[in-house]
Amino acid sequence: MTHWESVIGLEVHVQLQTQSKIFSGASTHYGADPNTQACAVDIALPGILPVMNRTAVQMAATFGLATGATINHRSVFARKNYFYPDLPKGYQISQYEIPIVSGGKINIGEGDTLKQIRITRAHLEEDAGKSLHDGLGEMSGIDLNRAGTPLLEVVSEPDMRSPAEAIAYLRKIHSLVRYLKICDGNMQEGSFRCDANISIRVEGDSELGIRTELKNINSFRFIERALNHEIQRQIDLIEDGGQVVQETRLYDPDTDQTRPMRGKEEAHDYRYFPDPDLPPLVIEDAEVEYLRSSLPELPDARCDRFIDAYQLRRSDAQQLTADRGIADYFEETVREAGGNSKIAANWVTGDLMAALNRDSLPIEQSRVSPISLGRLICRINDQSISGTIAKDIFSDLWDNGGDVDQIIEARGLKQISDSAELEQVVEKILSKFSEQADQVRQGQGKVLGFLVGQVMKETGGKANPKAVNEILSRKLSP
Amino acid sequence: MPHRQSLSALNRMLATGGISSTEITTHFLDRIEQNQQLNAFVSVDREQTLAHAQQADHSRRNERNSNLRGLPVALKDIFCTQDLLTSCGSRILSNFVSPYDATVVEHLDKDGFIVLGKTNMDEFAMGSSNESSYFGPVLNPWNTARVPGGSSGGSAAAVSARLAPAAIGTDTGGSIRQPAAFCGLTGLKPSYGRISRYGMVAYASSLDQAGPITQSAEDAALLLQTMAGFDSRDSTSLDTAVPDYLSALNTGLENVRLGIPKEFLDPSIDAEVLSAIETALEEFEKLGAKLVDIELPNSSAGIAAYYVIAPAEASSNLSKFDGVRYGHRTAEFSDLLDMYEKSRAEGFGDEVKRRILIGTYALSAGYYDAYYLKAQKVRRIIANDFSQAFKQCDLIAGPTTPSTAFPLGENLDDPVSMYLNDVFTVPVNLAGLPAISLPVGFDQSGLPIGLQLIGPYLKEANILSAAHSYQKVTDWHQRIPGDYE
């Protein structure tokens, strides 16, 4: 049986989170009423001219620096000419022959599976508007709010050999752009989009097979399915004696199918030429060095530091550093929790992430602040509350907000460490479960846990388990 | 009579209170109405313009700094204006009202100029005879069987017939200088980047430049002073200080080296034009200039390069006219493609379609290197020729056009011979240099002849002062066509 190898390259469209558009002063804010954020430049009125948004340039260069790429001191904007109603000028301004960023690399995997994925280039371009078809009867509508939104298109080499690698790469890019604060990474709103180039070949071959381009795979959930589906389609096609046709295909998540895309992509001659309205984009060494010195700590470095400084397992550190917001949250929690990094890591990767996922909230909208979580951890640490009670308080904080200490106070959740009080409860339990008490006396240490549990139950979880253990051990010592 | 006065003279009269803006403006509006046969204007709003003039008179009485306030000028219909239609000589924009004013219009307004109306032009500035306008041809006031030149033909005819004291035009390959030459006027094309292109409907973005069409170099200096300057909305606009053009006017010609390119004195040029140029050059010598023989060996390739680069840029610039957001949309269509095709087929005239086709072809895969890239190389070589020449001379002089105004219809079926009209003007645009055309005589049939002075980059002051020196001792620029005196 033939062993097939898939070859995947990705084109990621990163929407740069500038305040205004790439060539105009209109706002890039998402979700406004149609055409309320399209100025004269965006709707391509006669006589308008583009003016470069310098922040977009700096964001692109920052991305290049963070991936170890070359920042081209002189890059050129070209016009990509085609007619489409959501493309007001009849051309898209994009970098073609000379992009701002050339070369670069992203590491995926770790240890034995560590692999470098090469980035061919990253170039600046403007986004198009959107066509609207719902609720307009026979007509189609055009919303130009998105027209002119700055995009950084990151093109990889065909270095990925499986959908899993493609996803790992994509997650790395996603994490990186959020670290660099150049993109909000919101895939639902289209801030982070991906097209994939896929081909297959017999394992061991050096030649690339004929590729298809898969568009519209804009959710991590669908990517693996879409890629797998397309790879299998190509394998089936070739094994049935057919040939892959170079074409653009759309993935439809509803049917889990890919289908050829028709329309503007049909063998189009875009007649690229340098845009005479925009002089070559020049970025001087001094600006590049300034941007380099302004780079934040990057995910890989932060992960290493977390392992080192917080004594975390690599898997925990990776999970905590994949997202800058979560990493920031974690570090703030640790600070507030007096350095209890391991407990903090457990809480963040455990209860906090579960709650965020359950409510589909980004870390920035967490309903429990890192300060609250840090205090909660402090209360566990100073034995004011038990871990079990802490989980209860966390839920309370998540649902109703409030202050950790006030909740403990108001709900009377403070841990009972008072020996006299605990002694009484222990006596009560020992008389109720005399049989089990005898078993412990006879050396069946395991049963001690049962008795501890009963004391905890009796106190509504408030008893200090350590103290209970001590009292029980003392009383039941042979 | 105000129409016998230059813009500068009217300005002085306004300053001394000898006349009001309302009087001047009324007079010119009357003349525009009385001379509609020239077809020089496409949009005039008498009421509104008079209101502006009255406002200017009011301000003049109440302001200390009221220089220029209330001077009327005509504006080529390529500049976006909120007050008047901006049709660019095309059916596709025949209903278009711009929601914003071009930077040039803002500058004019800020300095107190009043727009008399929008002038006719070749469609999208593509033409050398003003015959490609959707609104019909403009007639040359010197001889109404002749073309006024193009593409700023309406602006030139308006000033020539004294329907306006001055006008604003644009020049991509000669569109200010050639009509100025054909109509006996002074036409200045400033350096590329000197005047903002924001709000000027683009024909060929790397070549387009606005400038004044006036009765004299002094008037041109007055308008350039207002129009020039950096604009953050135009990335190709130049961020350098604007010199005082008016005070530089009297620098004189003493020891100015005037380069005469032998390629511009080609025997194929009309003999009467040549003779007038030679006479004018003698006059320049008398004023102290030294004539130097120079070479512009590649200038003859200018037309070929221009007619690749300009249409290439135009083919892309004009894509925005698709009937989707504004402008002409066909009445009935079956689908999107049909709407595009019909709207554009109906909206554009033949010359525009020709250039869109040429440009689309020149940018096509497989032809790009042979045409567009080759033309860009030629462009650099031509610019380099000028740089070399300016090592030997301060200004370059020659005829503006190979002939005087040709009969209407003569070149309509022969685009190439029409294009050859621009042989001396096009290289200047390719090199981004400033140049002026000034009247230096008439041929035997009474048609004006223009001389072109080309300067180094940003040396507008030098060509203006050279032209002014000549105009102080000659009166060609003061001649008015008989019917319009």
Domain segments of chain B as ranges: 2-250+474-484
Look at residue A414 and give its three-state secondary structure.
coil
Residue A261 pLDDT grade (very low, low, confident, very high; cuts 50, 70, 90): confident
Across the interface, whether the CB atoms of A142 and B79 are under 8 A apart is answered no
DSSP count for chain A of H helices, then E strands:
16, 17
Instruction: Verify cis geometry, omega within 30 degrees of 0, for the bond prior to B6.
Output: no
Mean pLDDT of B338-353: 97
Q: What's the CA gap between A8 and A307, in Å, rounded?
A: 32
Mean pLDDT of B29-50: 98
Q: Verify whether residue B175 is a known catalytic residue.
A: yes
Largest CA distance in chain B: 70
Interchain CB contact of A85 with B (< 8 Å): yes
φ, ψ of residue B8 to 5 degrees: the values are -65, -40
> Residue A441 has what pLDDT?
83
- Residue-wise pLDDT for B196-239, tens only, equals 999 999 999 999 999 999 999 999 999 999 999 999 999 999 99
Query: How far does chain A reach from its first CA to its final CA, in angstroms?
Result: 69
* Spacing of C-alpha B267 from chain mean position: 27
Contact residues on chain A for B340, CB-CB shorter than 8 A: 83
User: Which of A416-425, A463-472, B382-391 tops mean pLDDT?
Assistant: B382-391
Across the interface, whether the CB atoms of B368 and A89 are under 8 A apart is answered no
**Would you say residue B147 has pLDDT above 70?**
yes
Pairing of strands B257-261, A273-274: unpaired
Q: What's the CA gap between A370 and A345, in Å, rounded?
A: 12
- Return the percentage of chain A with pLDDT > 90, whole number: 66
CA angle B155, B156, B158 (to 5 degrees): 65
Locate B198 and state its tokens. Answer: 């924001």
> Residue A252 has what pLDDT?
83
CB-nearest to B198 from A49, A52, A278 is A49
Mean pLDDT is lowest, of A173-177, A344-348, A453-457, B440-444, for A453-457
**Would you say residue B194 has pLDDT above 90?**
yes
Interface probe with B: pick from A48, A80, A86, A270, most Cβ of B within 10 Å: A48
Q: Considering the entire predicted model, what is its pTM?
A: 0.90
> Residue A221 has what pLDDT?
81
> Residue A136 has what pLDDT?
83
Strand partners, B454: B396, B435
Interchain CB contact of B363 with A (< 8 Å): yes
* Residue B251 DSSP one-character state: G
Residue A264 pLDDT grade (very low, low, confident, very high; cuts 50, 70, 90): very low
**Would you say residue B65 has pLDDT above 70?**
no
> Residue A265 has what pLDDT?
47
Q: How far is CA B247 from CA A123, A286, B464, in A?
A: 48, 41, 11
Interchain CB contact of A174 with B (< 8 Å): no
Interchain CB contact of A50 with B (< 8 Å): yes
Contact residues on chain A for B239, CB-CB shorter than 8 A: none
Interchain CB contact of B380 with A (< 8 Å): no
Interchain CB contact of A48 with B (< 8 Å): yes
Q: Nearest residue of B to residue A24 by CA position?
A: B233
Q: What's the CA gap between A467 and B260, in Å, rounded?
A: 108
> Residue A266 has what pLDDT?
52
- Domains of chain A, first to last: 4-289 (no CATH), 297-410 (no CATH), 419-476 (1.10.10.410)
Smallest CA–CA distance, residue A406 to chain B, in Å, is: 57
**Would you say residue A433 has pLDDT above 50?**
yes
**Would you say residue A413 has pLDDT above 90?**
no
Higher-scoring residue by pLDDT: A195, A424:
A195
Residue A268 pLDDT grade (very low, low, confident, very high; cuts 50, 70, 90): confident
CATH topology of domain B2-250+474-484: Amidase signature (AS) enzymes (3.90.1300)
Q: Which of B98, B128, B129, B151 is catalytic?
A: B151
> Residue B114 has what pLDDT?
97
Strand partners, A264: none
Q: Nearest residue of A to residue B96 by CA position?
A: A46
- Residue-wise pLDDT for A17-66, tens only, equals 999 999 999 999 988 999 999 999 999 999 999 999 999 999 999 999 99
* Spacing of C-alpha A98 from chain mean position: 30
Residue A478 pLDDT grade (very low, low, confident, very high; cuts 50, 70, 90): low
Q: What's the whole-number average pLDDT of chain B? A: 96
Mean pLDDT of A391-416: 87
Interchain CB contact of B236 with A (< 8 Å): yes
Q: Verify whether residue B151 is a known catalytic residue.
A: yes
**Would you say residue B278 has pLDDT above 70?**
yes
- Residue-wise pLDDT for A348-365, tens only, equals 999 999 999 999 998 999
Q: Which of A348, A51, A364 is nearest to A181 (CA)?
A: A364
Interchain CB contact of A47 with B (< 8 Å): yes
> Residue A116 has what pLDDT?
96
Interchain CB contact of A132 with B (< 8 Å): no
Q: Nearest residue of A to residue B361 by CA position?
A: A271
Q: Nearest residue of A to residue B372 by CA position?
A: A273
> Residue B80 has what pLDDT?
98
Contact residues on chain A for B210, CB-CB shorter than 8 A: none
Q: What's the CA gap between B164 and A261, in Å, rounded?
A: 58
ipTM: 0.96
Q: Verify whether residue B206 is a known catalytic residue.
A: no
- Return the percentage of chain A with pLDDT > 70, whole number: 98
Mean pLDDT of A70-98: 96
Neighbouring C-alpha atoms within 13 Å toward the C-beta of A95: 27
Higher-scoring residue by pLDDT: A201, A433:
A201
Locate A346 and state its tokens. Answer: 């457990």
**Would you say residue B67 has pLDDT above 80?**
no
Contact residues on chain A for B315, CB-CB shorter than 8 A: 81, 271
Q: Nearest residue of B to residue A274 by CA position?
A: B313
- Residue-wise pLDDT for B122-140, tens only, equals 999 999 999 999 999 999 9
Contact residues on chain A for B364, CB-CB shorter than 8 A: 269, 271
Q: Which of A406, A392, A389 is nearest to A464 (CA)?
A: A389
Across the interface, whether the CB atoms of B235 and A88 are under 8 A apart is answered no
Decide if B122 contacts B139 (C-beta within 8 A): no
CB-nearest to B235 from A50, A83, A273 is A50
Residue A385 pLDDT grade (very low, low, confident, very high; cuts 50, 70, 90): confident
Across the interface, whether the CB atoms of B316 and A83 are under 8 A apart is answered no
Locate A164 and state its tokens. Answer: 């899993």
Q: What's the whole-number average pLDDT of chain A? A: 91
Interface of A with B in 25-44 (CB under 8 A): 40, 43-44
Mean pLDDT of A331-344: 93
- Residue-wise pLDDT for B242-271, tens only, equals 999 999 999 999 999 999 999 888 878 999
Decide if B170 contacts B78 (C-beta within 8 A): yes
Contact residues on chain A for B314, CB-CB shorter than 8 A: none
